[in-house]
C-alpha cells in the first residue's frame, strides 16, 4: 500500500524533492538517537579532559553549548568522532566513527522506509554515504578551530555547504543508481542556523560539473539556476527527500548554537552505491525478507572491518573530479 499520494509522487518527479512535515515523532523517533549522540559527546569530553586538552568536561551545559566549549577549548573540531561513516582519505585503524544501535535503528525507521519504498521500490538498500551533520556557529570555525582529522580549518563537514549534487560527490559508476537522499534535522533548522536550500527542477539537466576546494566539491554559480532557489527551514520530525541530482546547499550558521541533522542515502538493492568500499545493508526486502539486516552489532562490525581494510590500503579517490581541473581555475 502506497504511503504517498499521486500528487506527492508527481511533485517529487517534477520538482526533484519532497518535504514531508511531521513524518517522524520527535520523542519516539528522534529522541533515542539524540540521546545516543549526547552520550558520545560525554565520552569525547571525558577523554579530552583526561588528556589535558580541555579545562573541564562542561557536563553542566546542554549538548550544543557543551560541544562548542569542547571545540573551542581543544582548538579542534571533532566531527569525525560523531560521524556514521569513515573519512574519505587517510583512514587509520583507530579512525573515529560512531555506529551505535540508535543510529542503526534510525536507518531502519519504518516510517522512512515506507516513503522510500514509494520512491525507489520495495528492495531497499541502505547506502553507506551517510553522515550526521553537526554544524556549530560560524564564529567557532572562524576563531580557528581545526578539523582533528585533516589538520585544516574546519569546512565542509561543519560549515556552510556549497552548492552540489549528491550524484556528483560519488563515483560515476552510480550515475544510473536510483539514489535517494533523506535529510532531517534533530534540532530546529532555521535560516539563521544554516538550513538547506535547494533548486527545484535542477535534477533534470544531468550531473553538473563539480570543482574541488578545501571545503569540498561544489558547482560554480554560472552552472546554477540561482533565481529559482528555495530555502527550506525545518523542524524535528520534518523529512526532506531529494533526487540524487537536485542541486542543494546549506546556509552558514549565524546563530549561537549548533544545528544537528542526519543526511542519509538509499537505493534499490543491487545497484552501485558509488562508494562500494564502504558497507551498506539491505534495509527492506519484500521479495527476500530474510536478507534484511536487523542486528546493530553486525552493522557496526561491517564498518570496523572496512576501517581495518582501508587502514592497510586506502583507495586513491572517492569521486570523479580532478583537483587541478582547468575549468575550475
At 150 the pLDDT is 40
At 311 the pLDDT is 93
pLDDT by residue for the chain (329 residues), tens only, comes to 779 999 999 999 999 999 999 999 999 999 999 999 999 999 999 999 999 999 999 999 999 999 999 999 998 889 999 999 998 888 999 999 999 999 999 999 999 999 999 999 999 999 999 999 999 998 887 654 444 444 333 444 567 899 999 999 999 999 999 999 999 999 999 999 999 999 999 999 999 999 988 778 999 999 999 999 999 999 999 999 999 999 999 999 999 999 999 999 999 999 999 999 999 999 999 999 999 999 999 999 999 999 999 999 887 778 889 888 888 97
CA atoms within 13 A on the CB side of 159: 21
Cβ density class 36-55: b for 16+ within 10 Å, e for less: bbeebbeebbeebbeeeebe
Contact 186, 261 (CB under 8 A): yes
Fold of domain 14-313 = Jelly Rolls (2.60.120)
DSSP 106-122: HHT-HHHHHHHHHHH-S
For the chain, the structural domain boundaries read: 14-313
Q: How do strand 248-250 and strand 76-77 relate by DSSP bridges?
A: unpaired
Strands (E), 5-119: 17-20, 76-77
pTM of the model: 0.94
Amino acid at each position: 500500500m502506497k504511503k504517498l499520494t499521486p500528487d506527492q509522487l508527481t511533485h517529487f518527479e517534477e520538482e526533484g524533492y519532497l518535504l514531508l512535515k511531521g513524518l517522524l515523532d520527535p520523542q519516539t523517533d528522534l529522541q533515542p538517537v539524540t540521546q545516543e549522540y549526547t552520550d558520545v559527546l560525554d565520552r569525547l569530553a571525558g577523554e579530552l579532559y583526561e588528556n589535558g586538552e580541555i579545562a573541564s568536561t562542561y557536563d553542566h551545559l546542554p549538548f550544543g553549548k557543551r560541544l562548542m566549549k569542547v571545540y573551542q577549548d581543544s582548538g579542534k573540531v571533532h566531527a569525525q568522532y560523531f560521524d556514521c561513516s569513515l573519512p574519505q582519505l587517510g583512514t587509520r585503524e583507530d579512525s573515529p566513527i560512531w555506529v551505535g544501535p540508535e543510529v542503526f535503528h534510525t536507518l531502519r525507521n519504518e516510517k522512512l522506509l515506507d516513503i522510500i519504498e514509494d520512491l525507489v521500490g520495495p528492495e531497499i538498500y541502505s547506502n553507506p554515504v551517510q553522515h550526521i551533520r553537526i554544524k556549530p556557529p560560524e564564529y567557532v570555525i572562524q576563531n580557528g578551530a581545526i578539523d582533528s582529522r585533516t589538520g585544516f580549518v574546519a569546512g565542509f563537514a561543519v560549515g556552510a555547504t556549497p552548492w552540489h549534487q549528491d550524484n556528483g560527490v560519488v563515483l560515476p559508476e552510480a550515475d544510473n543508481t536510483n539514489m535517494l537522499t533523506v535529510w532531517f534535522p534533530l534540532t530546529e533548522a532555521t535560516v539563521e542556523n544554516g538550513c538547506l536550500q535547494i533548486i527545484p527542477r535542477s535534477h533534470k539537466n544531468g550531473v553538473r560539473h563539480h570543482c574541488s576546494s578545501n571545503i569540498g566539491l561544489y558547482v560554480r554559480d554560472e552552472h546554477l539556476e540561482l533565481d529559482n532557489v528555495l530555502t527550506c527551514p525545518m523542524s524535528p520530525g520534518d523529512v526532506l527527500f531529494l533526487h540524487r541530482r537536485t542541486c542543494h546547499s546549506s546556509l552558514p550558521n549565524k546563530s549561537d548554537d549548533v544545528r544537528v541533522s542526519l543526511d542519509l542515502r538509499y537505493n534499490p538493492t543491487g545497484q552501485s552505491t558509488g562508494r562500494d568500499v564502504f558497507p551498506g545493508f539491505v534495509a527492506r526486502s519484500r521479495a527476500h525478507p530474510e536478507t534484511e539486516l536487523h542486528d546493530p552489532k553486525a552493522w557496526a562490525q561491517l564498518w570496523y572491518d572496512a576501517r581495518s581494510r582501508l587502514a592497510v590500503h586506502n583507495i586513491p579517490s572517492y569521486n570523479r573530479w580532478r583537483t587541478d581541473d582547468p575549468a575550475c581555475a
